[in-house]
A and B are shown apart, each in its own frame.
Chain A
Amino acid sequence: MGNVDLQARIPNNVDLKEDRRLQRALESWQPDYLQWWMEMGPEGFQADQIYLRTAVDVGREGWAHFDYVKMPEYRWGIFLEPSSPDRAIPCGDFAGQPAWQQVPGEWRNSLRRIIVTQADTEPASVEQQRLLGHTAPSLYDLRNLFQVNVEEGRHLWAMVYLLHSYFGRDGREEAEDLLRRRSGNADSPRILGTFNEPVEDWLSFFMFTTFTDRDGKFQLLALAESGFDPLARTTRFMLTEEAHHMFVGETGVGRIIQRAADVMNELKTDDPEAIRNHGAIDLPTIQRYINRWFSSSVNLFGGEISNNAATYFAAGLKGRYKEEDRFEDHVVVEGIYEMPVPHQNGADVARLATEEIPLRNAMNEILRDDYIGDCEFVVDRWNRILEKADRPERLSLPNRRFNREMGIYRGWSFDPEGNPISAIEFERRSADWLPTASDKSYVKSLMTPVLEPGKMAAWIAPPRKGIDGKDWEWEYVRFDKASVGIGLGAKPSLIG
Chain B
Amino acid sequence: MSTDTASAPASPASSAAATPIRFETNPDAYRHWRLSFDGPVARLSMKVDETAGLRPGYVLKLNSYDLGVDIELADAVRRLRFEHPEVRVLVLDSAIPGIFCAGANINMLGQSAHGFKVNFCKFTNETRLYLEDMSAECGVHTVASLAGTCAGGGYELALACDEILLQDDGNTAVSLPEVPLLGVLPGTGGLTRVVDKRKVRRDLADLFSTLAEGIKGKRAERWNLVDKAIPSSRFLAAVEEHAKSLAGGEGPRGRKTGEAGVVLAPLGGTYTSTGVKHKYVTLEIEDRVATIVVRGPDAPPPADAAAARADANGLWLLRVARELDDVLLDLRFNRVEVGTLVVRTEGDAAQVLAHDAFVLQHADQDWFIFETLMAWKRALKRLDLTARSAFALIEPGSCFAGSLYELAVSADRAYMLDDPDRPNSVQLDAMNRGPLPMSNGLTRLATRFLGDEEALAAAYANDGPYDGPAAEEAGLVTLAPDDIDYEDEVRIAIEERASLSPDALTGMEANLRFAGPETLETKIFGRLSAWQNWIFIRPNATGTSGALTLYGRPERPVFDWRRT
Q: Are these two chains actual partners, yes or no?
A: yes
Q: What is the distance, in angstroms, from B345's C-beta to the closest C-beta of chain A?
A: 49
Please give me the residue from chain B that is nearest to A358 by CB atom: B554
Q: What is the distance, in angstroms, from A159's C-beta to the closest C-beta of chain B?
A: 17
A315 close to B (CB within 8 Å)? yes
A75 close to B (CB within 8 Å)? no
Interface bits A79-97 vs B (CB < 8 Å: 1, else 0): 0000000000000010000
Please give me the residue from chain B that is nearest to A411 by CB atom: B50
Set A181, A361, A408: member contacting B7, Cβ < 8 A: A361
A344 close to B (CB within 8 Å)? yes
Contacts of B267 on A, CB cut-off 8 Å?
A: none
Q: What is the distance, in angstroms, from A188's C-beta to the closest C-beta of chain B?
A: 5
Q: What is the distance, in angstroms, from B208's C-beta to the closest C-beta of chain A?
A: 12
B556 close to A (CB within 8 Å)? yes
Set B212, B213, B232: member contacting A186, Cβ < 8 A: B232
Complex Cα spacing A344 to B52, Å: 11
Q: Which of B536-564 contact A (CB under 8 A)?
A: 551-556
B169 pairs with A189, CB closer than 8 A:
yes
Complex Cα spacing A54 to B51, Å: 54
Please give me the residue from chain A that is nearest to B553 by CB atom: A358
Complex Cα spacing A333 to B554, Å: 6
B170 close to A (CB within 8 Å)? yes
B169 pairs with A305, CB closer than 8 A:
no
B5 close to A (CB within 8 Å)? yes
Q: What is the distance, in angstroms, from A94's C-beta to the closest C-beta of chain B?
A: 10
Complex Cα spacing A408 to B4, Å: 12
A310 close to B (CB within 8 Å)? yes
A187 pairs with B554, CB closer than 8 A:
no
Q: Which of B159-203 contact A (CB under 8 A)?
A: 168-171
B170 pairs with A310, CB closer than 8 A:
no
B554 pairs with A332, CB closer than 8 A:
yes
B170 pairs with A191, CB closer than 8 A:
yes
Complex Cα spacing A93 to B7, Å: 20
Contacts of A310 on B, CB cut-off 8 Å?
A: 552-554
Complex Cα spacing A306 to B6, Å: 7
Q: Which of A271-318 contact B (CB under 8 A)?
A: 303, 305-308, 310-311, 314-315
Contacts of B171 on A, CB cut-off 8 Å?
A: 189, 191
Interface bits A372-414 vs B (CB < 8 Å: 1, else 0): 0000000000000000000000000000000000001000000
A187 pairs with B552, CB closer than 8 A:
no
A177 close to B (CB within 8 Å)? yes
B7 pairs with A307, CB closer than 8 A:
yes
Q: Which of A329-381 contact B (CB under 8 A)?
A: 332-333, 344, 357-361
Contacts of B555 on A, CB cut-off 8 Å?
A: 314, 333, 360
Known: A109-B211, A308-B4, A358-B7. A188 touches B554 (CB 8 A): no
B233 close to A (CB within 8 Å)? yes
B3 close to A (CB within 8 Å)? yes
A314 pairs with B4, CB closer than 8 A:
no
Set B3, B5, B553, B556: member contacting A93, Cβ < 8 A: B556
Please give me the residue from chain B that is nearest to A343 by CB atom: B51
Known: A305-B6, A344-B51. A188 touches B169 (CB 8 A): yes
- Give A residues with C-beta under 8 Å from B: 93, 109-110, 113, 177, 181, 186-189, 191, 303, 305-308, 310-311, 314-315, 332-333, 344, 357-361, 408
**Given A305-B6, A307-B7, list of 16 further CB < 8 A pairs?**
A109-B211, A186-B169, A187-B168, A188-B169, A191-B171, A305-B7, A307-B3, A307-B5, A308-B4, A310-B553, A314-B554, A333-B555, A344-B51, A358-B7, A361-B552, A361-B553
12 pairs from A and B in contact (CB 8 Å cutoff): A110-B212, A186-B169, A187-B232, A188-B169, A303-B4, A307-B5, A310-B552, A314-B556, A358-B554, A360-B554, A361-B553, A361-B554
